[in-house]
Amino acid sequence: MNTFMNRRSWLMLQPLLLLCMFMFANHASADEQRSPDQVVKSVAGDLLADLNKNRDQYRKDPAQLHKLIDKYFLTNFDTEYAAKRVLARHWRDATPEQRKQFIDAFYQSLVNNYGDAILDFTADRLNILPYKGDPGDTNATVRSEVRRNNGTMVPVNYTLHKTPEGGWKAWDVVIEGVSYVKSFQTDFASEIDQKGLDAVIKRLQDQVKSGASSSVKPH
């Protein structure tokens, strides 16, 4: 298995995470009775409608595209929870400032490298499968299939948890059985052990500042 290509595939599919978040907190109480897959489809429709209307503008103005990503991603993805899982034992040793810097640098690095992949995504490539979880669960997995450019269907699962406020937020994506929170956890653990957390944060920050389109994976 080509790890880099699988990660790039995930990151190209990552925009789906933006449209497959549950936004119960932003919906009327009636929406809270809907199944997770129904809510996912509703949110997906909103983002895809925006893309279809403004795709050309986003191609010309990356800053506007990043605002679109922030609008959906930062609202519906638990960046702190995901970062905590990625850093694992290193999260416990990190200072509050280091945690904040890592969360921001990691997120901005992903957007900087792969955010433009959303421009090529269309509704016909996404198939949300029926939700099989219990409505009372505090953790949920929404299964979907995504069609690649070559026509093959890829299983993509979204892992969510219920926040203390009662809403749902996603924190991981599993593509073809690979959890990319766990994958990044392995990558960063090795680099942090060798160079320290501050060095990893600086590398990510420098990458964002330079606008480099290299892999988030440690070199």
Identify which has the larger pLDDT, 215 or 103: 103
Q: How much is the pLDDT for 23?
A: 35
CATH class of 3-210: alpha beta
Q: Which of 176, 177, 69, 60 is nearest to 113 (CA)?
A: 69
Q: 2's torsion region: left (phi>0), alpha (psi -120 to 50) or beta?
A: beta
What pairing do the DSSP bridges indicate for beta strands 153-162 and 139-147?
antiparallel
The answer, yes or no, to whether residue 41 has pLDDT greater than 80, is no
105, 51 in Cβ contact below 8 A? no
Q: How much is the pLDDT for 43?
A: 67
Where are the domains positioned within the chain?
A: 3-210
* Edge-first strand listing for the sheet containing 178-179: 126-128, 139-147, 153-162, 168-175, 178-179
Lowest mean per-residue pLDDT among 23-37, 68-82, 100-114: 23-37
Tokens standing for residue 116: 């433009």
138, 162 in Cβ contact below 8 A? yes
| % of the chain at pLDDT higher than 70 | 76
Specify the pTM. Answer: 0.77
The answer, yes or no, to whether residue 214 has pLDDT greater than 50, is no
190, 218 in Cβ contact below 8 A? yes
Segment 27-38 shows an average pLDDT of: 49
* Tens-digit pLDDT profile for residues 167-181: 777 888 888 888 878
Identify which has the larger pLDDT, 7 or 70: 70
DSSP 129: P
Q: How much is the pLDDT for 9?
A: 53
Q: How much is the pLDDT for 30?
A: 38
pLDDT band at 219 (very low <50, low <70, confident <90, very high): very low
Q: How far apart are CA 99 and CA 51, in angstroms?
A: 32
Report the sign of the C-alpha dihedral through residues 76, 78, 80, 86, in that order: negative
Question: Considering the chain, what is the average pLDDT of its residues?
Answer: 78
